[in-house]
Structure formats: C-alpha cells, structure tokens
Chains A and B, each alone.
Chain A
Amino acid sequence: MSDASINASMIREDDASFGDYFALLKPRVMSLVVFTAFVGLMAAPVGVHPVIGFCAILFIAIGGGASGALNMWWDSDIDQVMKRTKSRPIPAGKVDKGEALSLGLALSGLSVIMLALATNVFAGAFLAFTIFFYVVIYTMWLKRATPQNIVIGGAAGAFPPVIGWIAATGSMTIEPWLMFALTFLWTPPHFWALALFMRNDYDMADVPMLTVTHGRRSTRKHILAYTVILATFAVATAFTGVGGPIYLAVALVLNALFLKGAVQIWRRDEAASEVDNFKVERSFFKLSLLYLFLHFGAILAEALLKPYGLGGW
C-alpha cells in the first residue's frame, strides 16, 4: 500500500510529536532531579572526571524521566480529571498508555545499566530502587491509599542527591542523607500549598489528599507543623559537613520567610483566601520553589569554594 492510498480515517490528527514523548518524562521534575543530583555529585569529597560526571547526571535524569512516564501510564485515569494534568500527553490523546509504559520501562533499564557501567553498581542499584519506590510504592500503592501520600512520595524525589553522591564515591555517609532530608521535609508544605489553591482537582480525582480527607483547616496546620520541622532542620544543616557560612546566611533568610508564609497560611481561613484568590498560598508555593533551589545552590557554593579554602567552616 502506497502512502498516497492512506485514507483520512487512518490519520491520527493528534499523532504524537517528539515533544509529546519528551513531555512524558516530566521535564520540570527532571530539572529538579538534575540540579539536586549535580549538587550531590559536586558536594562529594571525591573528584569525578567531567565525562563520567556528565553521564552520571544524564542517566539519573533519564531514570527520573522514566519514573515520570510510568507514573503517567498508571495515573492516566486521574490525570484526565484534574485541571492541572489533563493536558498531559496520555489524557490529551496524543500518546497511548502502552507507549508510555514501553518508554518508561525501556528508559528505566537503560538508565540503571548505564549508570552502573559509567559509575558503580551501587549507584545503579540505588537508581533502580528509586524508580521502584516512586512507581510501585508511591504511584501504584500509597498515592490512592493514604493522605500521607505526599510525605512518602517526597522520599522518591529526594533520592537524586544521594545517588549523585554514591556515583562519585561508591559509598554512603551521612552528608547525602542531609540533602535527602531537606527535599523530603520540603515536599509536604510545597504540595499541600498547591492542594489548597488547586482545590477541586484532587476531590474530583478521588485522590485522598489531606485537603479532602482531613479538611482544609487541618492542611493549614500540617503546613505550619512541617515548615517548623523543615526550618529547624534546614538551619541546623548549616553546621554539618555540607554547610558553611554561605549556606547559613541563605538558610536563615529563606527559613524566616518560609515560616512567615506558613504562619500566614495557618492564620487564614477559607473566606479570607477566597477574597484574594489564595494569594498567600500561591506566593508560599512560589517561594517554596526558590527555597529548595537556593538551599541546594548554597550547598553547591560551599562545595565549589572548598578547594580554595573558603567553603565550609
């Protein structure tokens, strides 16, 4: 059959482009993975050849992207209900579920094997565990089972700096776990703030988000509680091996602002939020993005300055 004989009924007008497949990998999440893994790699006390370092970050990012594709494959039913996610490639009808599954599995295998070959088996195994944790433990099991889904899911997003560190050193110490804890404790207030102003999304998708199961008042209390724990931890990290004066200055400023935002959210009621269309919650969410970026940026700055006798204490 020649190409010219294909009739119109066989043409998928919404046939996927290259960009649609790339969108399956959740590029924005991947950028966080790339950055935090890079900081983990650079903060490690062992020098890495630039090509090996580049490969390590690339394959960690591909592993993160593969998790995203598998997450979209499993969650396509709820993605088409939520406003925030209904334009993703599967609910938009551009990519089939099976294609997302195949892409996710293929990239998972590729990233794990290549990371193990480029760096060490321990790093590859840890990447495999991270993909398993995000896809099976979080996406398939806990996301729809418990309102603490975000807390547990945060762990998956927090592993990249640990993998970066292991890729460089081949071993594990306390320092990468401090970076892990930073992202882990940051995730709940970040997502719960989002849940407050994207309010109908999770209700409609029947995901047991804290706002749905325990109410919005309780969510505001949870945001404050987690922010207090996060701020304490984030400032204390300044006095560890990955911290230093630059980190301390950044942490003091950002955590003061973050705590102020959390207190404002806690003190507000729904009526006040409705009036200004969740202005405080939205700005808290935006600040949370800057918060994580600058904390890791400060850890990176300390690591880069160490060879010159400036970073750290």
Chain B
Amino acid sequence: MSLNKQHELHARRKGRNVGVGLLLAGFVVLVMALTVVKLTSQDFTWPDSKSEEQN
C-alpha cells in the first residue's frame, strides 16, 4: 500500500509543522517586544564607548 495525498498522516504532520511554525514566529515577536521594552526603559544605559576608548 502506498500513501496517497489525502492520507491522514499528512494532515497530522502538517498540523504539527504549522504549530511549530506559529510558536517560532510568536517567539520572534516576543523577543522583539522584550528588546524594545528593555531598550526604552529608563533603567537602560548604553555602554560608554568613549571612556572605554580612553582606557
């Protein structure tokens, strides 16, 4: 018996792949949002590159 295009296995694997894809996309968005929040918070300071160069 060979697998035809409509085999239930394909649907299940597609569901799994779509799920992983959505999770990865969500993770990218989350890291992006976290980065923006961290960079724009008042506690954040850029490293002082001038003083490092002088040292």
Task: Spell out A's residues near B (CB within 8 Å).
Answer: 3-8, 11, 15-18, 21, 49, 51-52, 55, 58, 117-118
A-B contact count (CB 8 A): 38
Given known pairs A3-B3, A52-B37, A55-B30, the reply for A17 and B15 (CB within 8 Å) is: yes
A-contact 0/1 string along B20-55, CB 8 Å cutoff: 100000000010011001000100000000000000
Cβ–Cβ < 8 Å partners of B4 in chain A: 4
Q: Judge whether A15 and B37 touch: CB under 8 Å.
A: no
A and B contact pairs by CB, cutoff 8 A, 22 listed: A3-B3, A4-B2, A4-B3, A4-B4, A5-B2, A6-B3, A7-B1, A7-B2, A8-B1, A11-B3, A11-B7, A11-B9, A15-B13, A16-B16, A17-B12, A18-B15, A18-B16, A49-B41, A51-B37, A52-B34, A55-B34, A117-B34
Given known pairs A49-B41, A118-B34, the reply for A15 and B2 (CB within 8 Å) is: no
Q: Which of B20, B37, B41 has the most CB of A within 10 A?
A: B37
Given known pairs A15-B13, A17-B16, the reply for A51 and B2 (CB within 8 Å) is: no
Identify 15 new A-B residue pairs, CB closer than 8 A, beyond the known A18-B15, A18-B16, A55-B34. Answer: A3-B3, A4-B3, A6-B2, A11-B9, A15-B9, A15-B12, A15-B13, A16-B16, A17-B15, A49-B37, A49-B41, A51-B33, A51-B34, A52-B34, A58-B30
A25 to chain B minimum Cβ distance, whole angstroms, is: 12
In Å, the complex CA distance between A118 and B30 comes to 10
In Å, the complex CA distance between A4 and B34 comes to 45
Top 3 closest pairs, chain A to chain B, by CB: A18-B19, A8-B1, A51-B37
Cβ–Cβ < 8 Å partners of A15 in chain B: 9, 12-13
Q: Which residue of A lies closest to B26 (CB)?
A: A58
B45 to chain A minimum Cβ distance, whole angstroms, is: 17
In Å, the complex CA distance between A11 and B7 comes to 10
Q: Which residue of B lies closest to A58 (CB)?
A: B30
Cβ–Cβ < 8 Å partners of B7 in chain A: 11
Cβ–Cβ < 8 Å partners of A118 in chain B: 34
In Å, the complex CA distance between A235 and B12 comes to 50
Cβ–Cβ < 8 Å partners of A117 in chain B: 34
Q: Which of B15, B20, B30 has the most CB of A within 10 A?
A: B30
Cβ–Cβ < 8 Å partners of B13 in chain A: 15
Q: Which residue of A lies closest to B3 (CB)?
A: A6
Q: Which residue of A lies closest to B33 (CB)?
A: A51
In Å, the complex CA distance between A58 and B29 comes to 14
In Å, the complex CA distance between A15 and B12 comes to 8
Cβ–Cβ < 8 Å partners of A3 in chain B: 3
Cβ–Cβ < 8 Å partners of A58 in chain B: 30
B42 to chain A minimum Cβ distance, whole angstroms, is: 11
Cβ–Cβ < 8 Å partners of A11 in chain B: 3, 7, 9
